[in-house]
Structure 1
């Protein structure tokens, strides 16, 4: 499965990057391709490309604040959760994403 995502927290520092790291690790361990953009006090990093978004099966928004550029994901299956959920249970979260994207 191809996953793209955006991580953002209120300060745009710690939780943003921890959420990105945990999400990427859990997705890769489950055999998925993943790209995650971060948005925060230092701006946007690792910007998602149009091609990455087009090829994505699902968009994960792990954010505690409103993100910029949400309209890019129009028409895509999107899952929005707080950063804490991804940080505390990344593997369980990826399992849920798998269930939502490819229901049995």
Structure 2
């Protein structure tokens, strides 16, 4: 059985930090053996939107955000791990391992 991680990355400007965080999370999750899907919310709108099924199937749900994500109510029934964009950019792998220790 494969592990799944989904994430939302969003910041007010939605330029560099959103995509740097998304890339860092994707790389770290794959390295740790996860299937991964990351939704970005930024200057170019909402991209790679997570479906209800993506969210339901996830072992870990991360929000690397500096603003409240669009359609955030999708996550109401789930445990969400909210982290700072900068922290994900600096140490995504460490953050995923820390979350694994909490679940």
Common fold, TM-score beyond 0.5?
yes
Between stretches 79-88 and 68-77, larger displacement belongs to: 68-77
After TM superposition, the score normalised by the length of structure 1 is: 0.92
Unaligned runs of 5+ in 2: none
> What stretches of structure 1 move > 4 A for 4+ residues in a row?
none
Could you tell me which residue of structure 2 aligns to residue 10 of structure 1? 12
What is the rounded CA distance, in whole Å, between the counterparts of 2:45 and 2:85 in structure 1?
A: 18
Contact 1:18 1:87 in 2 (8 A): yes
CA RMSD of aligned residues (A): 1.0
Task: Tell me what 2:83 maps to.
Answer: 81
Partner Cα separation in structure 1 for residue 81 and residue 90 of structure 2:
17
Looking at structure 2, the residues matched to 97 and 35 of structure 1 have their Cα atoms a distance apart, in angstroms, of 17
TM-score (norm 2): 0.92
